[in-house]
Amino acid sequence: MNLALGAVFRVLEQGLVYAVMAVGVYLSSRVLDFPDLTVDGSFPMGAAIAARLLIGGIHPLVGTLLAPVAGFFAGAATGILNTKLRISNLLAGILTMTALYSVNLRVMGRANVPLLRTGTVLTVLQEKGIPPTISAFLLFCIVVVVVKFMVDVFLRTEFGLALRAIGDNESMIRSLGVNTDSMKIIGIGIANALVALSGALVAQYQGFADIGMGIGTVVAGLASVIIGEAIIPPRSVGMGTLGAITGSVVYRLAVFLALRLGFAPTDLKLVTALLVIAALSGKSIKRGIGIERRKAVRNAGTEISV
């Protein structure tokens, strides 16, 4: 009994730590309407940078907070490729992600960096007297609440409104004088900063950074966002971020149950991909109907008399 409860607790921890990444994916995919594949590279980048800095003796808190700075630049690079060099958003993300693979290897020096003998943000908490059994849960809760609060406030600022308008009606906000190129670059940067922060925390949580740990991150993030939307309709900014967080926890719970049901861990990415495909196809059918309706409105306007 205690064992099962412990397992569920672990799942909660995972859901929360990956929720930071899910909020990042929510920002790019929903707020900016930008399918951003940089995520598969910026997630391990956050892990790699934190691991390297921690091993180098940097304070874990500093190491953890430098990861999102690097993540921001990774995202901004994708934004620049897309807006300035006119490379399609998907390809721009793939290019950055591919480049980051080499960068991450350089940063780590090898494919896997164990963090078992270095201090981490978790051991810092434990030294302050927080019991090891709850330190991760406590930390991730605090991080998620802070991230959610900051993102919510940010999206309601003048700048945030313009950012949201890009995903909703780009030509309108441009006609209102917003440099949409710069906005997108900054927006994708912020999204990847969150992703990298999540990666840095995950590395310290699991005790290592690995070059392959980014594979499937963006799809897991999308799955979380989609599940979240189903549970909490994103009627406001706050509900959108809450949905991504909830979706992340539910997704990790679903993964846990799938494993319990006897799925091989190696099949999970297939299951996740199928889930996202199912959700997306449902959406595109809905969107198809929306387009038809809009056409009808246009045609209705053409009969006008002298």
Partner 1 sequence: MLELKSLCKKFQSGTGNGRMALKDVSLSLQPNDFVTVIGSNGAGKSTLLNVIAGVFPVDSGQVTIDGEDVTHLPEHRRALVLGRVFQDPMQGTAGSMSIEENMAMAFKRGMRRGLSKGVSAKDKDYFREKLASLGLGLEDRLQEPVKLLSGGQRQALALLMATLSQPKLLLLDEHTAALDPRTAQEIQELTNDIVRRGSLSVLMVTHNLRLALAVGTRTIMMHEGEIALDVSDPERSEMTVSDLLERFHDARGERLSDDRILLEA
Name the residue among 90, 109, 2 with its Cα closest to residue 49.
109
Spell out the alpha helix ranges (H) of 27-88: 39-55, 60-83
For residue 186, state whether it binds partner 1 (rule: CB under 8 A): no
Considering only 47-55, 73-81, 134-142, 176-184, which stretch makes contact with partner 1 by CB under 8 A? 176-184
* 102 or 157: CB nearest partner 1: 157
Cβ closest to partner 1, residue 2 vs residue 305: 305
Among residues 2, 175, 266, 284, the one that binds partner 1 under rule CB under 8 A: 175
- Dist. CA 152–CA 144, nearest whole Å: 12
CB 101 within 8 A of CB 41: yes
Q: Which residue has the tokens 């940097």?
A: 58
- Shortest distance in whole angstroms from residue 233 CB to partner 1: 12
The residue from 97, 144, 147, 165 that contacts partner 1 (CB under 8 A) is 165
Cβ of residue 25: shortest distance to partner 1, in angstroms?
18
Side-chain-side CA neighbours of residue 302 (13 Å): 5
The C-alpha angle 289, 290, 291, rounded to 5 degrees, equals 90
Residue 267 is classified by DSSP as G
Options 172, 259, 274, 277; binder of partner 1; rule CB under 8 A: 172
- Which one, 98 or 179, has the nearer CB to partner 1? 179
| Binding residues among 140-159 for partner 1 as defined by CB under 8 A | 154, 156-159
For the record, the structure tokens of 204 come out as 């310290």
Site string for partner 1, 227-256 (x = CB under 8 A): --------x---------------------
Kindly tell me which residue out of 35, 119, 160, 238 binds partner 1, with binding defined by CB under 8 A: 160
Nearest approach in angstroms of CB 175 to partner 1 is 5
Give the type of residue at 177.
Answer: G
Structure tokens at 127: 């030294």
Interaction mask 273-302, partner 1, x per CB under 8 A: ---------------------x--xx-xxx
With 0-12 / 13-18 / 19 or more C-beta atoms within 10 angstroms meaning exposed / middle / buried, residue 106 is exposed
φ, ψ dihedrals at 257, nearest 5°: -65, -40
Beta bridge partners of 208: 114
With CB under 8 A as the contact rule, which of the stretches 102-110, 131-139, 164-172, 202-210 interacts with partner 1? 164-172
Q: Which of 58, 134, 174, 273 binds partner 1 (CB under 8 A)?
A: 174
What gap in Å lies between CA 269 and CA 265, rounded to an integer? 8
* Cα 169 from chain centroid (whole Å): 23
- Would you count residue 178 as binding partner 1 (CB under 8 A)? yes
- To partner 1, the closest distance from the beta carbon of 178 in angstroms equals 6
Write out the two tokens for 260.
Answer: 């319990």
State the residues that interact with partner 1 by CB under 8 A.
154, 156-162, 164-165, 168-169, 171-180, 235, 294, 297-298, 300-302, 304-306
